Structure 1
Amino acid sequence: MRRVNDDRPGQPGQPDAPDVPPEAWSGVHRGVLREGEWVRLVDAKGRKHNFELVAGKRFFSNKGHLDHDELIGREEGFTVTSSAGGEYLVFRPLLSEFVVSMPRGAAVVYPKDSAQIVAMADIFPGAHVVEAGVGSGALTCSLLRAVGPHGRVSSYEVREEFAEVAQRNVRQFFGAEEGRDHPAWHLTIGDLAAELPASGERCDRIILDMLAPWDCLDAVGEALRPGGIVCAYVATTTQLSRFAEAVRLHGGFTEPHAWESLVRDWHLEGLAVRPSHAMNGHTAFLITARRMAPGQRPPLKKRRPAPGAYGPDYTGPRPPGVPAPPPEADGAPGTDG
């Protein structure tokens, strides 16, 4: 029986598929390595080197040198030997590999968190996503790939030096020419709380990677379309708590949902199958909520708060229906002078 897709390029006996169309803006290439592309070399000890292929140039390491011309024109996925006998695997870098080795202005959103944001915030092709805190551009690359060239990512960054690093990194990953950006990306230097309302933009998703995401909830509420999702990326439990309570107090969002992801590799060698001694532990918490329609509020929680959750030591915002505790008396009654 003949399958209907047997004639697709890349099938056995058929010519290989052409390169990914430039208008897809995927940051990925097929076929042989070309001058101007970036490659990733990995040695026998797992040390990694990323560099741009330039005809006539050499790569140097403690294992001697390699001529770039030895790599250009070959299919990725091969082993090459340096002048001093060092062996290297040669591949194009994946997005998850690129973001952890690219130049940094600010800390990057790691791949495990970017993947969670794209999936759990439901970033879709054609979406309009607003990002506050562009950092070094790691999450921006994932958002742009998810929305595609027909979507839109509007990034806001208060620090110009971070924005410049992010711009270079995003251009490098997507192979954009100098002075040209991804067509779906718009970068603004400024504070989202002030700039987003002034822009009049309406969007489908908002990602907040900033110290005080609760400060811009009013702007987020105005810009998000009903059913849209806000997702905050925060590092500490105090930030997590304060943002959750600010969302509840706002009243225009569903009950917030918070989580973190921990990634642990495994060692595999015959019968020696065990967890790796190192792991990607806590990087940040993620918390999401959905925008209600104008004038609508979510049902109040039926479950009573845990004892002490909003006790005298709690100083943050209180959700509707949770009264402040009575002030404590000055001094303890029943004690002697």
Structure 2
Amino acid sequence: MSDHSTTGRAVGAHMRTGALKAGERVQLTDYKGRRSTITLAEAGQWHTHHGVLHHDALIGQPEGIVVTNEGGHQYQVLRPLLNDFVLSMPRGPTVVYPKDSAQIVQLADVFPGAHVLEAGVGSGALSISLLRAVGEHGTLHSYELREEFAEIARANVDAFFGDAHPGWQIHQGDAAVVPTDIERPGSVDRVVLDMLAPWDCLDMVSTVLAPGGVWVSYVASVTQLSRLAEAVRDSGGFTEPEAHEIMLRTWHLDGLAVRPDHRMVAHTGFLLSVRRLADGQQPLALKKREKVSEPAAEDTAAWAGTSWQAGQETADQGPVWDEANLGTRTVSGRKARRVRSHAQSIAEAAQEVPDGR
């Protein structure tokens, strides 16, 4: 691991500047705007149906060059930005999209030197943004239930920074339980959860999050958003929940033909944010409109995990908050292992990139 305290350079800075080096990821864009991302290697070759491009034609060159392969096709060469890296890196579980990661960092007010707790690491996309925000003097403790997901995330983060980040730790286990054995009460500045049932972590967050600290949860469905908001309100230890949804629409620019693109990145998830109150304090009862629509009995029963019949409620196991019922993609162990191997090979190449200009 590089000693950044002696070089005076930020973690991963050597992967973002200077001449292109073997082990780095580069983004190739053709005349149709199609992008491909490859890892440079000495004497390496990139084969397409348009011909062969030799990696040695790129290594040692500055960013922004235009190269021609053996078939006469040209490519613009740049290092991938964080957005590009996240969308091209090996993925097991679905990643938190850059538009949402940026808003999470902003909503949570993640600052340099902060101690952040993250649960639901997935493929490591959000971890990269959080580590950039806390810097080399901050810490990020990430909790992941599946071992292969944790390994994919570790490889992707190492590949982006070119080395292990000094402030990052991954812990495997149930995020509702494990953090209380590791984090001191009130020692965490920010909590970010990306999981199916974040309300299960309510007691954990109440214990480890410092007064005034921010908790942001990323959920995919309206039912999760509603259940979490009601659980936070019932706990009494947080401010009134605020919910957000981020949509991103690009524009077509061609002379006078300036219009929105036909396709856009619309719904990916909801963000719910609250702040921790001091111990023993209750949130203010916010004034509401006189006409308030109360949730139906069957809705309340669904949130509480009970069955509802006309005039009565009966306790049972309640709804199962899993990938199948929420319509999310389940990643098989076989695919996770394949992605893990790919991500680790990219990380190993990145760790060979020299840390210097």
TM-score range relative to shorter protein: 0.7 to 0.9
Structure 1 runs (4+) greater than 6 angstroms displaced = none
Q: Are residues 1:158 and 2:145 paired? A: yes
Determine if the alignment matches structure 1 residue 256 to structure 2 residue 241: yes
Report the secondary structure of 1:205's partner residue: strand
Larger gyration radius, structure 1 or structure 2: 1
Counterpart of 1:290 in structure 2 is 275
Could you say which structure has the higher helix fraction? 2
Offset at 1:210?
Answer: 0.2
- Take 2:29 and 2:67, find their aligned partners in 1: how far apart are those partners? 10
Structure 2 counterpart of 1:221: 206
Quick one: which amino acid aligns to residue 201 of structure 2?
Answer: C
| Superposition deviation, residue 34 in structure 1 | 1.4
Letter in 1 for 2:94: A
The question of whether the paired residues in 1 share the 8 Å contact of 2:12 and 2:162 is answered with no
Q: What one-letter code is carried by the residue in structure 1 that aligns with 2:282?
A: R
Answer yes or no: is the 8 Å Cα contact 1:40–1:93 preserved in 2: yes
Structure 2 counterpart of 1:266, from 251, 267, 274 = 251
Residue pair 2:115, 2:134 contacting (<8 A) in 1 also: yes
Per the alignment, do residues 223 and 230 of structure 1 end up closer, same or farther by CA in structure 2, a change over 3 Å counting?
A: same
Query: What SS class does the counterpart of residue 217 from structure 1 fall into?
Result: helix
**Aligned with 2:202: secondary structure?**
helix
Q: For structure 2, which runs of at least 5 residues remain unmatched after alignment?
A: 1-6, 313-357
Alpha-carbon contact 1:249-1:317 (below 8 Å) kept: no
Structure 2 residue 295 is matched with structure 1 residue 310:
yes
Instruction: Give the match for residue 50 of structure 1.
Output: 37
Q: Deviations over 1:88-141 (max 9, x none)?
A: 110011111000111011000000000000111101100011000000000000
Task: Give 1:22 shift.
Answer: 7.4
Q: 2:286 aligns with which of 296, 301, 308?
A: 301
> How big is the alpha-carbon RMSD for the aligned residues of Structure 1 and Structure 2?
1.9
2:181 equivalent in structure 1 = 198
- Superposed displacement of residue 26, structure 1: 3.5
Tell me which residue corresponds to 2:157.
170
1:305/1:94 CA distance change after superposition, 3 Å: farther
Instruction: Report the equivalent of 2:72.
Output: 85
Aligned partner letter, 1:111: P
Pick 1 or 2: higher relative contact order, CA cutoff 8 A, min separation 6: 2
Partner of 2:123: 136
Residue identity matched to 1:188: H
Distance 1:112 1:199 in 2: 31
Structure 1 counterpart of 2:31, one-letter code: A
Cα distance, 1:86–1:309 mapped onto 2, change above 3 Å? farther
The amino acid that maps onto 2:18 is: G
Deviating more after overlay: 214-223 vs 60-69: 60-69
1:3-152 mapped onto 2 (5 Å cutoff): 23-26=9-12, 28-152=15-139
Q: CA deviation at 1:219?
A: 0.3
Deviation at 1:200, TM superposition (A): 3.1
1:26/1:145 contact within 8 Å kept: no
Residue of structure 2 equivalent to 1:245: 230
Return the alpha-carbon distance in structure 1 between the equivalents of residues 291 and 43 of structure 2.
68
Unaligned stretches of 5+ in structure 1? 1-20, 319-324, 330-337
Q: Secondary structure at the match of 2:170?
A: strand
Separation (CA, whole Å) in 1 of partners of 2:125 and 2:16: 19
Distance 2:82 2:203 in 1: 34
8 Å CA contact 2:26, 2:38 repeated in 1 = yes
TM-score, scaled to structure 1: 0.85
State the secondary structure of the residue aligned to 1:145. helix
User: SS of the residue aligned with 2:263?
Assistant: strand
